[in-house]
Amino acid sequence: MAPESEGTTPIRRALLSVHDKTGLEQLARGLTELRVELWATAGTRAGLAHAGLEIHPAEELTGIGSWFGGRIKTLHPGLLGGILAPRSDAGRRELEARGLLPFDLVVVNLYPFVEHLAEAPDADDLEEYIDIGGVTLVRAAAKNHAYVAVLSDPTQYTAALEEARQHGGALSAGTRRRLAVAAFERCTEYDRAIARGLAPAAPGPGGLPVEVAFRREPMALRYGENPHQPAAVYAGVGHDGAGFSPAPLELVKGESLSFTNLLDLDTAVGVVAEFDQPTAAVVKHATPCGVASAPTLAEAVERAIATDPVARYGCAIAVNRPVGDADPAPLHGVFVDLLAAPGFSDAARQALERRPKLKLVRTTPPAPSAVRWEAKSALGRLLIQEVDRRQLAPGDFRRVTQRESTPEERCALDFAWRVVRHAKSNAIVLAHGSRTVGLGAGQPTRVKAVELAVEVAGERARGAVLASDAFFPFADGVEVAARAGVRAILQPGGSVRDPEVIAAADRAGMAMYFTGWRVFRH
């Protein structure tokens, strides 16, 4: 008999051995309809007892039942031989000589070590949740994927059944190979979680993980920063399992997101997450160019886009409330590339659908504890740091000038500081109340950042407050702000020329406060 073709091997016999029974009955029924002979281990058979299906006990092929409280059930040639055997003439002869049955499909998922570790990291029974037989079955089937398909996750069942129905009970060679890759990846993740769970890696400085893993996500990017640069999205997981938790993200309208869309979105969502009031953030080139909080979302959007009518062209906007029926009105006549919100009302969605180039994204600003680490790259290396979520405390407002700010100015300074931490260094934010009136960011000198913020603000700089992400190295930046009419400044302090800077503020009758810590963002 000629060897079976790797592309057309039908599924005649399947082995089922799963801990997670999700979708199991539907899969078993679908396989039965395809006339697949089903074999299952005791626990899996019990989970299907009510289904009324003919399922053979795997113990008939091993003759060992369950040893040592279930630690050994499937580690036996009676199962592994039928999975690993090549389907050549020689392989068939040996299967027959040894009295083994070949399996064409193996359905296995593993003991929930990761879930048990999360629930009880100090439990004495962690070792009992380490799967040995299941991993062996998965690896054996994946190794022999030329003839055997392996389903290692319940999310794979529906697609596998659909393809098998379309191809007379067979899965293509490409599908078997993809399933094998997914199975090996699952085993790798599982082993890594066990190693970390039993002997957590010694943390680096400040609790930074010693090792992190990133996996490519299915989200398609049109290109990188420029059309000639291919790009992809990867989600990462730190040693604690949550250090790089990705924010929920769903494109609900528009063409696929770009590399720069995600960078802008990251900044915009981070800004609005700073505030409890309805807030809108307008972002260009991954730096804010307008932010406002207001009693209503429509007011917040209107005030945010009013900060810089030139820079907002082609912007990304994020808000921290679902977009209601009237909220899109302020965007009339404004070219917006992307609008992100936790949700959109039906009326708002219909209104925004009329804008053909607008992308709508459903996303939720992360909770303060959701993402612990953030990553960037440099010189072919991954740079990781803890996300900056330090908040101003009352003691961080250390007055260094003769004049003291008014309560209203103090609130505006707090608002401006929450915004400036998301702007590119060197960064300056001018604000009135809870809205920005001028921003200067990404400048090589701080005085240039002040000049840019003042230029954007125009007459609105008079009576405004100013937040600076780092200290003023010279008095010139303060002097520019004073001439524009700025009344109060919040900055980290720490320059060797602080006395000169303070003196310039006093001459102008300005209030100035030092925080003692900076908020660089590069």
Pick the catalytic residue from 21, 143, 167, 253. Answer: 143
Residue 138 confidence class, pLDDT cut points 50, 70, 90: very high
Better-scored residue on pLDDT, 117 or 221: 221
Strands 359-363, 511-514: pairing kind: unpaired
Distance between the two ends of the chain, CA-based, in angstroms? 67
Of residues 13 and 116, more confidently modeled = 13
Q: Do 13-198 and 249-389 agree at the fold level?
A: no
**What is the tens place of the pLDDT at every residue in 470-512?**
999 999 999 999 999 999 999 999 999 999 999 999 999 999 9
Residue 143 bears catalytic tag? yes
Residue 1: the pLDDT is 32
Nearest of 376, 406, 372, 403 to residue 387 by alpha carbon: 372
Mean of pLDDT values over 381-394:
88
Tell me the two tokens of residue 123: 């439990």
Assigned fold of 13-198: Rossmann fold (3.40.50)
Q: Which of 19, 38, 174 is nearest to 105 (CA)?
A: 38
421-457 in b/e burial notation, b at 16+ Cβ within 10 A?
Answer: bbbbbbbbbbbbbbbbbbbbbbbeebbbbbbbbbebb
Domain 394-514: CATH superfamily is AICAR transformylase, duplication domain (3.40.140.20)
Task: Give this prediction's pTM.
Answer: 0.74
* The pLDDT of residue 321: 95
What is the Cα 501 distance to its own chain's centre?
Answer: 42
Question: In this structure, which topology does domain 249-389 adopt according to CATH?
Answer: Cytidine Deaminase; domain 2 (3.40.140)
Locate the domains of the chain by residue range.
Answer: 13-198, 249-389, 394-514
Structure confidence by residue, pLDDT tens digits, 51-67: 889 999 998 888 888 88
Q: Which two tokens stand for residue 212?
A: 């992190």
What are the pLDDT digits (tens) for 274-286? 999 999 999 999 9
pLDDT for 5 beyond 60:
no
pLDDT confidence of residue 237: 63
Axis-axis angle for helices 173-198, 133-143 (nearest 10): 150
Active site residue 76: no
- Distance between CA 283 and CA 265 in Å, rounded? 8
**Higher pLDDT among residues 305 and 130, named by residue:** 305
Q: Report the range out of 323-337, 356-370, 378-392 with the highest average pLDDT.
A: 323-337
Residues 6+ apart with CB under 8 A from 169: 10, 11, 12, 34, 35, 36
3-state helix, strand, coil in the chain (%, to 5): 35, 20, 45
What does the pLDDT average to over 78-87? 92
